[in-house]
Amino acid sequence: MKVKFLSDIRDCAGVREETLKFSGTVGELLLHLSHKYGNTFRKTVLTGDQVSDRIVILVNGRNIAYLNGTDTVLGEEDEVSIFPVLSGG
């Protein structure tokens, strides 16, 4: 699976993207990444055990909010993008 880190999330992870051998849910992936990249990443992406409302996560270009949220099951061929909510005016 490919995980892409965009904008401020890239700064927290220290990488632009990573290829992982991972199977599980989006929630399990976020916990795995939090252990790997540390507390700053976790505090940016998660609020408790839930995805922060300041973060958008796409699986194969689809927002997990329209799938099964953090229970969305991931496969080896999936692409996950993690980025902050964009705002402007």
Q: What pLDDT score does 88 carry?
A: 56
- Mean pLDDT, each 10-residue run in order, the chain (89 residues): 96 95 95 95 92 96 96 96 81
Looking at residue 4, its pLDDT comes to 98
12/19 Cα distance (integer angstroms): 17
Q: Is residue 18 part of a domain?
A: yes
What CATH number does residue 59 fall under?
3.10.20.30
Q: Establish if 89 belongs to a structural domain.
A: no
Question: Domain range holding 13?
Answer: 2-84
Kindly report the pTM of this predicted structure: 0.92
Give me the pLDDT at residue 49, please. 81
Please tell me the predicted confidence (pLDDT) of residue 89: 55
* DSSP code string of 3-30: EEE-THHHHHHSSSEEE----EEHHHHH
Domains held by the chain: number: 1
Find tokens 């507390």 and name the residue: 39
